[in-house]
Amino acid sequence: ASEIKVAGIGKSYGAFCALKDVSLDIGRGEFLTLLGPSGSGKSTFLMVLAGFERPSQGKLFRDGVDITDQPPERRSAGMVFQGYALFPHMSVAANIAFPLRVRRKPEDEIKRRVGEMVERVNLLGHEHKLPAKLSGGQQQRVALARALVFEPGVLLLDEPFSALDKSLRGQMQAEMKRLHEETGTTFVFVTHDQSEALALSSRVSIFNHGEVLQVGTPQEVYERP
Ligand code: ADP
Ligand code: ADP
């Protein structure tokens, strides 16, 4: 797992300032949740971490190395984004195998790692199905497996469960918590649901108008002294 240092990141779109001087230390193996109203800059921040958006100011470090100018494929970041759907024409196994294919891993290693992930997310017997043949929860588990299969330094999740109904959402939260504990990966998770943040996070950071207002454990942030 990686530790990430965010030093004075700003992001402007023309005259509009989506992120203002955001600084955060994200610890190795931490589960950090970004909370805040819609439009507060949470997704933009995740896109900067992923390398899909270039910051206008500031620097990013992973394990002490400056990655500000690194392209997404070198960031060792797994992603579960709303707009980052499963490949509909590929089987479950092929979807999960994809990040390993891109990295030109040998076939025997791909088979082994895909097999392990399929088991880890309880999709045994579904390997050769197309995503459309799966339930919503199963599709989410394929997305989690695909994001974790290459053992990324950090997993970035942008409201991955917002389309699910309440009970399924609860199940997926438990699943995510388990995967975090089992893999020890650093998780950065975006939500606007306070109870979700409380249930999952080691720390919470509150975004508002592109700024981090507060960062701390859920107790520190929500319990008044
Ligand atoms: P959140 O994830 O907290 O809902 P976003 O990061 O998506 O917030 O958006 C922060 C602000 O930045 C919003 O006002 C949004 O309209 C603006 N924004 C995001 N991306 C772009 C873009 N590509 N061009 C212009 N404005 C953008
Ligand atoms: P399908 O033929 O149903 O489209 P594939 O056989 O193409 O699925 O699977 C894609 C990749 O996933 C394969 O190259 C293989 O490495 C891996 N794979 C397929 N089935 C399994 C399985 N049951 N367990 C582990 N890995 C698998």
179-216 pLDDT, tens per residue? 999 999 999 999 988 888 888 999 999 999 999 999 99
Q: pLDDT tens, 109-140?
A: 999 999 999 999 999 999 999 999 999 899 99
Phi-psi region of 41 (alpha: psi -120 to 50; beta: other; left: phi over 0): left
Please tell me the number of the ligand nearest to residue 48's CA: 1
- How do 154-158 and 203-208 pair as beta strands? unpaired
Q: pLDDT tens, 41-81?
A: 999 999 999 999 999 999 999 999 999 999 998 999 999 98
> Cα(46) to centroid of ligand 1, in Å?
11
Name the nearest CA neighbour of 155 among 121, 127, 190. Answer: 190
Q: What is the mean pLDDT of residues 7-34?
A: 97
pLDDT band (50, 70, 90) for residue 153: very high
How is residue 66 written in tokens? 């400056």
How is residue 210 written in tokens? 């592109």
**Mean pLDDT, rounded, of the chain:** 94
> Cα(33) to centroid of ligand 2, in Å?
33
> Cα(123) to centroid of ligand 2, in Å?
13
Please tell me the number of the ligand nearest to residue 98's CA: 2
Report ipTM for this prediction.
0.78
Nearest CA to ligand 2 atom 10: 94
